[in-house]
Amino acid sequence: MGRAATTGSLLAALLLIVQCAGAEVVPKIAPADPTPTLVIDQFGYRPEGEKILIIRTPVRGFDAGTGGEPAKAYDIVNVATGKVAFHGEPQPWRESAVDAGSGDRVAYMDFSPLDAPGSYMIRSSDGAQKSATFRIAGNVYDEVFRAAFRTFFYQRAGYTKAVPYADPRWADGASHMGKGQDTEARSFFAKVDASSARDLHGGWYDAGDFNKYTNWAADNCRTLLLSYTENPHAWGDDFDIPESGNGIPDVLDEVKWGLDWLIRMQNDDGSVLSIVSLDVASPPSAAKGPSFYGPASTSSTRSTAEVFAYAAMVYGATGLPGHREYADELSRRAVAAWNWAEANPDKTFFNNDVRDASIGLGAGQQETDDAGRAAKRLAAAVYLYAITGLDTYRRAAEFEIRESKLMRGEGVTPYDLEAQDAMRVYATLPGISSGLGQKINAELRRAMATRTFWGAIEGEDDPYFAPVMAMRWGSNTVKARTGNLFMDEAKTGLAPAELITVRDVAARYLHYFHGVNPLGKVYLSNMGAYGAENSVDSFYHGWFADGSALWDSVKSSKYGPPPGFLVGGPNPSYSWDNCCPKSCGGPGTRYSCLKAPLAPPTGQPPLKAYRDFNTGWPLNSWEVTENSDSYQVAYLRLLANFVD
């Protein structure tokens, strides 16, 4: 049932026919967006930062044959004065080879010397090619940062989104607070047993679905807190959330909203429930179905021990009213969670899975494997040692560190930041085993110096300057986390280059999200008012649902979705449901598939395996366009480095 799009500018629409109870619904399906010849960061650049214009000639993919060849020269024009502020000639990437990742031939022009604040546009010397307008300013990303962070307010479960904190276009009542919902959620395995009811309200919708997953929520809290400790100057008390103006950085208030939900998820014995499954409706306050929770597990309990201990470090050090007492409570709860997990090291729970007879509980699979549980034990032990100084946690931390992928010589990856971030912290702590901190830092530097990271940068493997080890479902979080790996080097002094060079490398990943990609797409929703010429129009989300007259699409609905949501991004492994190409469903409810898989995303070079659409099953747009709080925090952590 949903919105999809076609390939080719000549095809204005395709028909995705939905037969529901005998009635046919024929939604409009938008064509794929045209792609530009000149791509830049559509918001702009900081004065001191690297600035690179990309000129692209599509050779493969849905846009092959469109666009033009690079001009001999380009002028950068000050919009206010009309004067040429910079003139340069482009250089071909790899002697005009076709890039496998994008299907494009690419040339580029470095205009980093242009550092005067102002608004600019770029045009070819013959005037045939023009870029979007962009700014050069020290605060160029400030409002983008604000919009991206405010998405957590819109993702709050059980909280009224009221004016003035909510834009009137996206105001809504508190969701999931009715009978049988979050304040009296029951066990999935005791649905008719009123004695199983628990107050589990609060927290955030995890993604486009409204479920709340302990493992992921805990890591999102941790990442936001890490961003605060790395760049406290970026996090003010003025993001226009309900807690703004209370003298506490808003990020600490927002994280507390998530931590307070985790507190409710903790049992008296220290264990922590794994998931709460919520009903979905548009708007969220219209959801009336019951809420159900899943049992405690080792992974959910270790995740919570980890974030409670780390949060105790952060809140305990602020000196702000109430934070010391809150840190003490979190410390006690972290110890209780640790003790339960140590006594129950292999307790798993697979939600929405035949293995635990839990089909229908949640959507995404939150359980992890043995390596994942070991990483969580490592991180929890590190932060508990940091707040207690106890040898029990030091020994556990050092055992897991020595057994970690990093110390076994397997390198670093954007998928293992939980353990890698903890090891960076451990290397700074007093009282650890002699030489271990130096060994950790040496391995981190060695791993980043490999072909996967610095080698890919120095070899210019990606003509869009943001190489990653793999493109898959959720590629945008891989892009953001890779940028954060480079920023980690800048901050710890481990990089094999000057600080400003490493910052420029990290900024290249930021520019990717802001339009420096083969689609010329800003991968944030509804950012036209912030300067984006082409931002996400629609994405998979229960609130901003396909067919909604109010929120489906920026172009075709009254409001569209709110600004600032980061989507999953290009996914070359995207596919429709296995029931396709035949019709899916049962008697009276049949959904037709297209004659061929939707292209794009299918059949494209990896970086073009994307389109704006929010059609649900069986076209499964969530594999490409669904937002996730995990994507959001990785992007915010990266962006915070470039906000004043």
Q: SS3 for 399?
A: helix
Q: Where in the chain is the domain with CATH 1.50.10.10?
A: 142-368
For the segment 587-631, what is each residue's pLDDT rounded down to a tens digit? 665 676 777 889 999 999 999 999 999 998 889 999 999 999 999
Q: pLDDT tens digit string along 32-70? A: 899 999 999 999 999 999 999 999 999 999 999 998 899
CA–CA gap between residue 482 and residue 90 (Å, rounded): 27
In sequence order, the β-bridge partners of residue 120 are 78, 134
In this prediction, residues 302-318 reach a mean pLDDT of 98
Q: What is the pLDDT of residue 22?
A: 37
* Mean pLDDT confidence for 369-376: 97
pTM: 0.95
Q: Could you say which architecture CATH assigns to the domain 142-368?
A: Alpha/alpha barrel (1.50)
Q: In what order do the strands lie in the sheet with 292-293?
A: 186-187, 292-293, 275-277, 212-213
Phi-psi region of 585 (alpha: psi -120 to 50; beta: other; left: phi over 0): left
| pLDDT per position as a tens digit, 206-254 | 999 999 999 999 999 999 999 999 999 999 999 999 999 999 999 999 9
Q: Does residue 313 surpass a pLDDT of 60?
A: yes
Residue 389 has pLDDT above 60, yes or no: yes
Integer Cα distance of 176 and 205 in angstroms: 11
Residues 83-108: tens digit of each pLDDT: 999 999 999 999 999 999 999 999 99
pLDDT band at 19 (very low <50, low <70, confident <90, very high): very low
Alpha-carbon distance values, 265 to 73, 111, 262 (Å): 60, 52, 5
Closest among 55, 74, 52, 67 to 127, alpha carbons compared: 74
As annotated, the residues of the chain forming the CATH 2.60.40.10 domain(s) are 38-136
Report whether pLDDT(9) > 90.
no
- pLDDT(109) > 80: yes
Q: Which fold has domain 38-136?
A: Immunoglobulin-like (2.60.40)
Residue 527 C-alpha from the chain's centroid: 16
Euclidean distance between CA atoms 231 and 189, whole angstroms: 44
The confidence score (pLDDT) of residue 491 equals: 82
Task: Write out the two tokens for 2.
Answer: 């949903």
* Chain centroid to CA 572: 18
- Compute the distance between CA of residue 540 and CA of residue 447 in angstroms, rounded to an integer: 36
Whether the ω angle into residue 581 lies within 30 degrees of 0, i.e. cis, is yes
